[in-house]
Structure 1
Amino acid sequence: MKTLLLVDDEARMLDLLNIYLSPVYHCIMVKSGREAVVHMKNSYADLILLDVMMPEMDGWSACAKIREFSKVPIIMLTARNEKSDVVKGFQLGADDYVTKPFDEGELLARIDALFRRMDDKDTKAVHFKGLKWDEESHELTYEGQQIQLTPKEFSLLGLLLKNPNKVFSRAHLLESIWENKAFTEDRTIDSHVRNIRDKLRQANFPIDLYLSTVWGVGYKWVPKE
């Protein structure tokens, strides 16, 4: 079940959205734009329904802040339907715009349509237990939080992820990822694997369960249940 983050300063609206959406999605409710930003920095959601008119931090500001570190789909909710507001939302990174009062069926249809569009863009991505390796955007995320890898680390991890249970020798990895093998050594692979493990551990992904060393040969990705 996908997770929606519902953001509105009106308790009645949050309750209404939860009634509409909880039969289909797992819903998390927060009452301010600031809470939404904090949640997305520390946790995860597959999509955000974000009210525009809120005190302290409005929906536009929250959208802009979230876009600094996340590409999570965002649907803006507002009682205003002026064209300038719609344009502003899209310019700040929103994916869709729904005007209050809204029809329950239309809201569900818009959410479903947005998820379908995101899935179509995901054809070059590998998903594994909250980890997402995205070739098109050249990004690695875990539960929505970005993990910074060097280009070689990214390519090395992707090769392993896309070929589960296949053992890659160090020579094979050097040939596949380093174009000029003559100026690299086997220990280069070990150094990059060590960096990948360190970075994923820091992101709280249990990398040691899946990235396995095959002693005397190389490495493989083991997709344990």
Structure 2
Amino acid sequence: MANILVVEDDMDIAQGIAEFLEPKGHELDFAYTGKQALALLEQHQYQLVLLDINLPFVNGYDICRHLSDDILGQHLSKVPVIMMSSRSHEQDIIQGFKSGAWDYLKKPFSFAELSARIDVGLMKSASRTSLKQVTAYAGASLDDETLLFSYQNSALQLHTVGYEILKLLMTNAPNVVKTSAIHTHLWPNDTPDSDPLRAHIYKLRKQLKAAFQQPFIETVKGVGYQFLVGEDDAI
């Protein structure tokens, strides 16, 4: 099974997660503050992180940014993060995805649903690791093992969702990939209520533009997105 870090300051919720997941064979570590979580992430390598937002000292958004920005080490940019929070407003959910979260689970939730989302995250992570190949198109390349996007002797470290988006677009380039197809690829069991894809695309284009002076992703209104080299348009 998987080695999972549970970051949750509510002891009852943490205990319930433990009682449900440990019999399934998962090995769990627990952090009850943001500082504890960062310390554990520096010391250990996890296959998945369950992350609350309202934490003492360092909140879940900031922890997720540390992971997606690769501040704590290259391997951490590959770790799927599932946010768990009672914050249900659309802006909170979008902020979670923009921080680099893989999934967002609203409290209260069933442990069966949590387990299903963990399984999806782990399967995607395992398939990405096992492929270890490079996707290339028009001089741009994407390394499945390191999650590095490269173009003209420059490289950008991607977070998990950014990698998945570029992988799908590059694989289908120059064709347009429908928005619904991207949603299904990223969230096969349950498309989120809000529009996290738009937030992810915005963040990814901004990172690409800063690193390579072009966003690589073109919006085709009413249809979806397309990977293009040498194009620049606004969302």
Superposition TM-score, scaled by structure 2 size: 0.53
What corresponds to 1:130 in structure 2? none
What corresponds to 1:103 in structure 2? 110
What corresponds to 1:41 in structure 2? 42
The answer to whether structure 1 residue 122 and structure 2 residue 115 are counterparts is no
What corresponds to 2:144 in structure 1? 136
| 8 A Cα contact 1:37 1:66, kept in partner | no
What corresponds to 1:28 in structure 2? 29
Equivalent-residue separation in structure 1 for 2:121 and 2:113 (angstroms): 12
What corresponds to 1:90 in structure 2? 97
Query: CA-to-partner distance for each residue in 1:22-49, whole Å, 9 max, x for gaps?
Result: 1121111110122111111111211000
Equivalent-residue separation in structure 1 for 2:28 and 2:60 (angstroms): 18
Equivalent-residue separation in structure 2 for 1:137 and 1:68 (angstroms): 17
Equivalent-residue separation in structure 2 for 1:55 and 1:31 (angstroms): 8
Report deviation, 1:139. Answer: 6.6
Equivalent-residue separation in structure 2 for 1:118 and 1:84 (angstroms): 27
Report deviation, 1:66. Answer: 2.4
The answer to whether structure 1 residue 67 and structure 2 residue 74 are counterparts is no
What corresponds to 1:14 in structure 2? 14
Report deviation, 1:2. Answer: 1.1
| 8 A Cα contact 2:129 2:145, kept in partner | no
Counterpart code for 1:136: D
Query: CA-to-partner distance for each residue in 1:137-159, whole Å, 9 max, x for gaps?
Result: 4479xxxxxxxxxxxxxxxxxxx
Alignment of 1:205-224 (within 5 A): none
Counterpart code for 1:104: F
Q: Secondary structure at the match of 1:122?
A: helix
- The list of structure 1 runs, each at least 4 consecutive aligned residues, that deviate by more than 3 angstroms after superposition, is 137-140
Report deviation, 1:9. Answer: 1.2
| 8 A Cα contact 1:34 1:62, kept in partner | no
Counterpart code for 1:81: S
Query: CA-to-partner distance for each residue in 1:90-117, whole Å, 9 max, x for gaps?
Result: 1111000011110111110011011112
Report deviation, 1:68. Answer: 2.9
Query: What runs of 5+ residues in structure 1 fail to find an aligned partner?
Result: 127-133, 141-225
Percent sequence identity is 28
Superposition TM-score, scaled by structure 1 size: 0.55
The answer to whether structure 1 residue 56 and structure 2 residue 64 are counterparts is no
Q: Secondary structure at the match of 2:5?
A: strand
Residue 42 to residue 123, structure 1, CA distance change in 2 (3 Å): same
Residues matched between the structures, number? 134
| 8 A Cα contact 1:124 1:135, kept in partner | no
Tell me which structure has the larger Cα radius of gyration: 1
Counterpart code for 1:32: T
Equivalent-residue separation in structure 2 for 1:2 and 1:19 (angstroms): 15
Residue 14 to residue 138, structure 1, CA distance change in 2 (3 Å): closer
Report deviation, 1:135. Answer: 4.5
